[in-house]
Amino acid sequence: MSHVMNTYARLPVAFSHGQGSRMTDVDGREYLDALSGIAVNTLGHAHPKLVAALSAQAGRMLHTSNLYRIREQDLLSDKLAERSGMQEIFFCNSGCEANEAAIKLARYYGHKEGIETPTIIVMEKAFHGRTMATLSATGNRKAQAGFEPLVSGFVRVPYDDLAAIKAVAEHNKNIVAVMLEIIQGEGGIHLASADYQQGVRQLCDEQGWLMICDEVQCGMARTGQWFGYQHAGVQPDIATLAKGLGSGVPIGACMVGGKAAGLFGPGNHGSTFGGNPLACVAALTTIDTIEEEGLLANAERIGALIRQLFAEALAGDKGLVEIRGRGLMIGIELDRPCGELVGKALEAGLLINVTGDKVIRLLPPLTFSENEARELVDRMRPLIKNFLAG
């Protein structure tokens, strides 16, 4: 018996090591990884460049403190700013922390504008994390139940529905920001239309609100662009990152520009570990490797191939509702709850996930090859067919 708290419904497997898109469990069985630890292992497992960079950094120093200048943090902030169109970056350790920073910043902005009870518009089916403020912003009653009182200062609207946001704007004078995922991950791989994203941007400009994009899952090249908002050519005031940023080393970031820049000063926010040298080297190496190995284009190409191959494999199957996604963030919606497919896939040596009850979620490493894509679909196909027939 282990003493680990029982907060996860864990699958009956423990891994020993990995290489690329393959993982090996403690009994020596091999698996094809089409989940990357939920969009975390951007470069797959044991990427030689990451191993070398982390080993070298571990030999120099792991941690100093944000009491001092951190050269690796300066370098990483420059690289992220250049690719995101943002001006300032706060480093933390996880997605919920990045979103906490964004929420605090939006409130701080509101107070500066003379709004005493700043309120943020959030979305149905959103997922922003498990800390009290991010849980309150999350649109999942099951996750919130038992943790009331929730943090106030959020109003919820349907996703991808500009009229709903406009309706709130008419009667609520305390709004300071709109917070959304460009592609909802936990909610079931739902995509916001380009029109909607541009409409939100325009409305935020008209109303003096901040546009906050939670890019924790869809950011960092996963969709074939560095950031999800770049597909529709919108530039948010705040974007948050974590999952794929360090390829497995915990690091998060709250990136700000436009009206959100220049607001925080010393004492407004902080983190002991945030942006420590080891984590920054992981993120720097991730960014460099994505570019050196052409992984933006790979995510786009292999993602499209996987969607096409699944469309062919499942053509005519009545249980299939929709195949959607962008790059290597893929959802296959079925007409019934399909959580049991996760265990079936595991038995067959495939790591996948189901979210939003009926949506098979695939988030392979960005290094996924064409052969691995074909293998994934070939091996998933009978599982899905048998499940739908059964």
For ligand PLP, the binding residues (CB under 6 A) are 94-96, 99, 127-129, 181, 185-186, 214, 216-217, 242-243
In this structure, how many other beta carbons lie within 10 angstroms of the beta carbon of residue 15? 15
Is the Cβ of residue 20 or residue 139 nearer to ligand PLP in the bound state? 139
Is the Cβ of residue 44 or residue 139 nearer to ligand PLP in the bound state? 139
Nearest distance, CB of residue 40 and ligand PLP, angstroms: 9
Determine the residue type at 24: T
- Token code pair at residue 223: 């969709």
Is the Cβ of residue 99 or residue 247 nearer to ligand PLP in the bound state? 99
Nearest distance, CB of residue 93 and ligand PLP, angstroms: 8
Is the Cβ of residue 295 or residue 329 nearer to ligand PLP in the bound state? 329
Determine the residue type at 167: A
Is the Cβ of residue 130 or residue 381 nearer to ligand PLP in the bound state? 130
Nearest distance, CB of residue 185 and ligand PLP, angstroms: 4
Q: 3-class secondary structure for 109-160?
A: HHHHCCCCCCEEEEECCCCCCCCHHHHHHCCCHHHHCCCCCCCCCEEEECCC
Nearest distance, CB of residue 219 and ligand PLP, angstroms: 9
The CA dihedral of 274, 279, 13, 320, to the nearest 10 degrees, is 80
Separation CA 136–CA 151 (nearest Å): 6
Nearest distance, CB of residue 37 and ligand PLP, angstroms: 11
Q: Helix or strand or coil: residue 187? A: coil
Q: Are 262 and 294 spatial neighbours (Cβ–Cβ below 8 Å)?
A: no
- Strands 350-351 and 30-33, how do they pair? parallel
Is the Cβ of residue 223 or residue 372 nearer to ligand PLP in the bound state? 223
220 CB-near residues (< 8 Å, 6+ apart): 42, 226, 227, 241, 243, 244, 245, 286, 290
Is the Cβ of residue 160 or residue 186 nearer to ligand PLP in the bound state? 186
71 CB-near residues (< 8 Å, 6+ apart): 277
Closest to 128 measured CA to CA, from 217, 1, 55, 196: 217
Separation CA 16–CA 22 (nearest Å): 11
Is the Cβ of residue 8 or residue 68 nearer to ligand PLP in the bound state? 8
Q: Are 96 and 275 spatial neighbours (Cβ–Cβ below 8 Å)?
A: no
Q: What is the DSSP letter of 96?
A: H
Nearest distance, CB of residue 223 and ligand PLP, angstroms: 13
Closest to 272 measured CA to CA, from 28, 84, 97, 87: 97
Nearest distance, CB of residue 138 and ligand PLP, angstroms: 8
Q: How many residues does the chain have?
A: 390
Is the Cβ of residue 245 or residue 314 nearer to ligand PLP in the bound state? 245
Nearest distance, CB of residue 334 and ligand PLP, angstroms: 21
Is the Cβ of residue 94 or residue 230 nearer to ligand PLP in the bound state? 94
Nearest distance, CB of residue 128 and ligand PLP, angstroms: 5
Nearest distance, CB of residue 249 and ligand PLP, angstroms: 12
